[in-house]
Structure formats: C-alpha cells, structure tokens
C-alpha cells in the first residue's frame, strides 16, 4: 500500500542536511509543519513552513516543553486512514493527516557525557514530545513514515520520486523498526544515567538496578562466529555519563583482513591485560589466554620477551601494546617464522606501519588497530561485566583489584626478597586474565609458563612447568585461587619455583605452608581470589 505524502511534521535537534531535505519536500508539493528552532532555521533559509502552534491554535509554552503534545498533532499521526470512524473524527475536529514525521531527539547522551554537567541540565535534555511523535508514527507505520536519522534523507527523497510521492510499505516498516530502536536506546541511556546518579548521590545502596537495560549499535556483521556454522555481529554500546574507555569497539582499524569473532574476543582480553600496566608492556594472547607477557625498559624489549615466553603458542596470537609500536617491534615481528592475527596499540610509528602493511604475508592479513592511550587509571569501575546465559544474564563488577608487594602477607618462615615480591605482584596481575584454574610462572617481569583452564590446580602447575622448562629454575608462581592440597606447591618447588603467591583460604592452608617451609620456599597470601571462567 502506497500512501501519498501530503503533509510532513519536521522537528529536529540535529539539523544536519535539514534545509536541503525540506526544500526538496516542498518542491514535491509537501506541506511542512514545524516547531521552535527547526521552524526558525527553515524560515531563515527561505523554506516555506507552517508553525505547529498556528495549526493547533495552541501556543508553545513553558520554554518549548509543550508544543507537539496536542490531539491535532497526534490525531493526525495516529489516525487509521482506512477506518471510517477515525476519518470522521478527523473531519469533526479539523485534524489534518500527517503522513511523514521527521524527528530526532534532544542530545541527552552527549550532554551527560560532558564533564561537570548538572542534574538540571541533564534533565532538561530528556525529550518528551520527540519520542511521543516517534512512537506514534512508528506505531502507525501502515500510513506514516518516520525519519529519525539525517542519513536517511536521500533515501526518503528517492522513495518519493520512485513511488510518485509515496513511501513503500517495506520502507515505512524499516523506518519504524529504526525508530523504536532509537527510543529503546534513548530510554535505556536515561534510566542507566539516573540510576548511576542515585548511587553517586547516596540515595540508593543498590549496585545493580532492578531492571537492567542494555542497547548497542551494530557496527559489523562478521563472516561467522566462533565457528563457521555460527553467525555473528559486533555491537558497540553507547557511552553515557563520561569519557569512553579505550576498547576494541572504539579503536580505529588501520588495515588487514576484516576482524573475526575470535579476533575481537582475543583482542578484548589482550587489551584488558595491557590496561593493568603503566609501563612498556606487551600481552600475547591466544584463545583468550595470555601465553606470553612482559614488561621492560622499551616496548621492543617487552615484545621480544613477551613473545619468547611461549614462542610456539605465540604464532597466530593477538598482541596488545601499552606504547606505540615502533620500527624495532615491526622488524622483530616480520623476522623469522612469526605471524600474528591482530595487533592493538596506542599508535604505530610511520616506518613500522609501512613495514607491517607492505611485508608479504603481513600486509594483507594482519589486522592493525590503534586505540587512544591507556593505563590502569582509564578503567571505568562503573562499567559492569555481562555474562549471557540461556534465559537471562549475569552482571558483576570488573575485577580491578591489584595486590602490590605491600599488600602481601608472608605466611612462611622463609622471607621473600623485594625482587621476588615485585615479580609475584606482576605474576598475579597476569593471573587475573588467565582462565581458571590458573597458574603463572614468572622470571623477573616476563611470563615463562602458563597453566590455564584446568579442572585440577596440580595439572595447571604441571602445564606451566612444562611450558617454562629450564626457566622454572628460580621462577616465582602466582595462583588465582588457593591450593586445596600440598601437591601443587610440591610439584612447583620440584620444578624449580622459589617463591609462591596465592590468596589462601583453604582448610589445608597449614599443610600447604608446611610444604613450603620444608623446602625453605617463601609463600605470600593476598586474600583476594581471581577466578576467571
């Protein structure tokens, strides 16, 4: 069914492309109703329009808060043109049909993202009339087209031209879906911001809202999901109330193949690990676990040491850098039989970028992403982690705890050296990002062995020791949770480990401590577990 567009109501906050679009509508014989600043902008541009208050016979008031909430507006939008009783009501009350509604909403999200915005300023940017018109026209999309995105203006004009001044059913349905998606996102942003304000002002002790609202904008349809038989897409969640934390979704892709589902998941894990450090550091992640990581005086040294933590597993990994990637890093990566799937860094030196994008095997394949600079202080503690399960989802705080040397409790007769304490602190920062059960062997500030995702902690120790090989001699060990039996530490000590960190809390802690005392190996407790499932 094609309905002639004879009258359009135009009221927009974002005036991008407005004048040219409305001028074309007028040239097509469409009558324009408009309000406030939109009406003035059209008038100043010499575009013919009728003010809504003139049509309704009711003035705008209360600083524009009340202007479109009127039966002659919503009746004109909501009326079913094929229902005789609706048509009779329109005739009786002098309601004219509105066939096209062009509305976008007050900029609430961008307002609350500004530093120092007051609650009153934010509340004033909660649109009422706009969402009401958007929802009315979207509900009645059998007869009314609703345009909420200036990017759709050319398509609207093309449709009107193709269909003799009408919009096709399919196009109106598409616009309605987009409109309801907009109001869902808008209301979610308001609800989430208001909840955070209640927490900030101490008016609620709740950490989690009674109703959790999440929305996202699709930024890519991926080739497939974790496996080729699964479909997948990437969504970016809106930023409400502050500066967006550097992430995979807001990083710029400089080149390489399109990102895959697994690339994105691994890059997210690598970046989360890299954000633990405010020094030259490189995370080497494979299958969502760090197989290597290192901090050093230079980013090139950190890369080499991180890669060599497990060079076998590093092939085909993803990398995250805390410093711009320089030529020395690029030369190391393209030399020898090395290859990675993706690299994320807060910058790429020109020579490094040239080498990585033009070297055979690298240029057309490796994905390069540049993020804003980051350090531990960019992490937003208000950001919640979401775990989807069938029929619902779980929310939790992020694990941002960091146990430095001064927070460690020595529980053995042997005392760790300051150097060992520093290495243990580094090891537990890595361990937070290893799938549980997690064991991490470290030499200095270099990961030399990781045991990840094991059902038995002693098996995780065996794997980490095997990965480390001779580098186990003199290494330190961090465990993400307590040792339930002495066998784990006994195997670690036999492999050459000379200092151990764990949270403690087992009923057999004394037995585990005794095993360390037997061999003169210091052990520290942190009191904080870092499970990662």
Two tokens, residue 430: 């890595």
Confidence of residue 487 (pLDDT cuts 50, 70, 90): very high
Asked whether 492 and 458 are in contact (CB, 8 A), the reply is no
Q: What is the pLDDT of residue 362?
A: 87
**What does the DSSP assignment read for 297-315?**
SSHHHHHHHHHHTSHHHHT
Residue 163 a catalytic site member: no
Using CA atoms, how far apart are residues 307 and 336, in angstroms rounded to an integer? Answer: 12
Would you call the peptide bond into 235 cis, given omega within 30 degrees of 0 as the criterion?
no
**Tens digit of each residue's pLDDT (9 = 90 or more) over 435-472:** 999 999 999 999 999 999 999 999 999 999 999 999 99
Q: What is the pLDDT of residue 390?
A: 95
Q: What is the pLDDT of residue 255?
A: 87
CATH topology of domain 405-525: Cytidine Deaminase; domain 2 (3.40.140)
Two tokens, residue 82: 């094929």
Across the strands, what pairs with 389?
A: 392
Confidence of residue 241 (pLDDT cuts 50, 70, 90): low
Closest by CA to 411, choosing from 512, 528, 519, is: 512
CA of residue 231 relative to chain centroid, distance: 20
**Tens digit of each residue's pLDDT (9 = 90 or more) over 268-323:** 999 999 999 999 999 999 999 999 999 999 999 999 999 999 999 999 999 999 99
Using CA atoms, how far apart are residues 250 and 126, in angstroms rounded to an integer? Answer: 26
Q: Is the pLDDT of residue 113 over 90?
A: no
Using CA atoms, how far apart are residues 101 and 10, in angstroms rounded to an integer? Answer: 6
Closest by CA to 340, choosing from 327, 359, 354, is: 359
Q: What is the pLDDT of residue 441?
A: 98
End-to-end CA, the chain:
53
Select the CATH number that applies to the domain covering 3-193 from these four: 3.30.70.20, 3.40.710.10, 3.40.50.620, 3.40.50.1380.
Answer: 3.40.50.1380
Asked whether 321 and 267 are in contact (CB, 8 A), the reply is no
**The pairing of beta strand 217-221 with beta strand 31-34:** unpaired
**Tens digit of each residue's pLDDT (9 = 90 or more) over 53-109:** 888 777 776 666 666 678 888 899 999 988 899 989 888 898 899 999 999 999 998
Catalytic residue among 2, 139, 163, 372: 139
**Tens digit of each residue's pLDDT (9 = 90 or more) over 13-52:** 999 999 999 999 999 999 999 988 899 999 999 999 998 8
Domain ranges of the chain: 3-193, 251-376, 405-525
Q: What is the pLDDT of residue 135?
A: 94
Q: What is the pLDDT of residue 242?
A: 58
Using CA atoms, how far apart are residues 35 and 258, in angstroms rounded to an integer? Answer: 44
Residue 139 a catalytic site member: yes
Q: Is 7 helix (H, G, I), strand (E, B) or coil?
A: strand
Catalytic residue among 287, 359, 372, 519: 287
Using CA atoms, how far apart are residues 56 and 273, in angstroms rounded to an integer? Answer: 59
SS (H, E, C) 61-82: ECCCCECCCCHHHHHHHHCCCC
Two tokens, residue 175: 């616009």
Using CA atoms, how far apart are residues 17 and 316, in angstroms rounded to an integer? Answer: 46
Select the CATH number that applies to the domain covering 251-376 from these four: 3.40.50.1980, 3.40.140.20, 3.40.50.300, 3.50.50.100.
Answer: 3.40.140.20
Asked whether 73 and 52 are in contact (CB, 8 A), the reply is yes
Using CA atoms, how far apart are residues 484 and 488, in angstroms rounded to an integer? Answer: 8
CA of residue 492 relative to chain centroid, distance: 38
**Tens digit of each residue's pLDDT (9 = 90 or more) over 153-204:** 999 999 999 999 999 999 999 999 999 999 999 999 999 999 989 988 889 9
Domain 3-193 shares a fold with domain 405-525: no
E strand or H helix at 118:
none
């Amino acid at each position: 069914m094609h309905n002639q567009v004879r009258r359009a109501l135009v009221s927009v906050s974002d005036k991008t492309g407005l004048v040219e679009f409305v001028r074309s509508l007028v040239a097509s014989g469409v009558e324009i109703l408009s309000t406030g600043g939109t009406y003035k902008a059209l008038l100043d541009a010499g575009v013919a329009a009728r003010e809504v208050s003139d049509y309704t016979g009711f003035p705008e008031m209360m600083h524009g808060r009340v202007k479109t909430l009127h039966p002659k507006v919503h009746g004109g939008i909501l009326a079913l043109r094929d229902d005789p009783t609706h048509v009779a009501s329109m005739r009786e009350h002098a309601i004219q049909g509105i066939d096209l509604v062009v509305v976008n909403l007050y900029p609430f999200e961008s307002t609350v993202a500004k530093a120092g915005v007051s609650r009153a300023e934010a509340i004033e940017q909660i649109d009422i009339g706009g969402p009401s018109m958007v929802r009315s026209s979207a509900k009645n999309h059998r007869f009314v087209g609703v345009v909420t995105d200036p990017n759709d203006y050319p398509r609207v004009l093309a449709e009107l031209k193709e269909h003799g001044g009408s919009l096709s059913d399919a196009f109106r349905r598409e616009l309605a879906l987009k409109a309801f998606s907009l109001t869902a996102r808008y209301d979610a942003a308001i609800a989430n911001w208001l909840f955070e304000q209640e927490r900030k002002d101490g008016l609620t002790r709740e950490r989690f809202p009674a109703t959790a609202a999440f929305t996202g904008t699709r930024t890519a349809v991926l080739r497939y999901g974790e496996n080729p038989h699964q479909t997948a897409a990437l969504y970016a969640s809106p930023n409400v109330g502050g500066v967006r934390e550097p992430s995979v979704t807001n990083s710029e892709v400089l080149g390489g193949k399109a990102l895959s589902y697994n690339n994105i998941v691994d890059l997210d894990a690598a970046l989360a690990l890299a954000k633990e450090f405010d020094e030259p550091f490189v995370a080497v992640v494979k299958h969502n676990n760090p197989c290597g990581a290192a901090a050093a005086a230079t980013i090139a040294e950190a890369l080499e040491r991180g890669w060599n933590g497990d060079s076998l597993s590093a092939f085909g990994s993803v990398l995250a850098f805390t410093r711009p990637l320089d030529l020395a890093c690029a030369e190391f990566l393209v030399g020898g039989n090395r290859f990675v799937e993706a690299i994320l860094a807060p910058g790429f030196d020109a020579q490094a970028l040239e080498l990585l994008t033009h070297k055979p095997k690298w240029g057309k394949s490796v994905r390069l992403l540049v993020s804003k600079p980051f350090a531990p202080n960019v992490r937003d503690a208000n950001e919640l982690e979401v775990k989807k399960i069938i029929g619902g989802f779980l929310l939790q705080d992020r694990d941002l705890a960091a146990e430095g040397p001064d927070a460690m409790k020595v529980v053995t007769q042997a005392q760790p050296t300051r150097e060992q304490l520093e290495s243990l602190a580094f090891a537990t920062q890595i361990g937070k990002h290893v799938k549980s059960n997690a064991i991490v062997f470290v030499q200095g500030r270099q990961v030399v062995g990781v045991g990840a995702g094991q059902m038995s902690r002693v098996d995780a120790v065996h794997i980490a020791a095997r990965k480390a090989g001779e580098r186990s001699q003199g290494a330190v060990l961090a465990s993400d949770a307590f040792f339930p039996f002495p066998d784990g530490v006994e195997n670690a000590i036999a492999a050459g480990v000379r200092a151990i960190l764990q949270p403690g809390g087992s009923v057999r802690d004394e037995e585990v401590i005794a095993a360390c005392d037997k061999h003169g190996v210091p052990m520290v407790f942190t009191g904080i577990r870092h499970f990662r499932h």
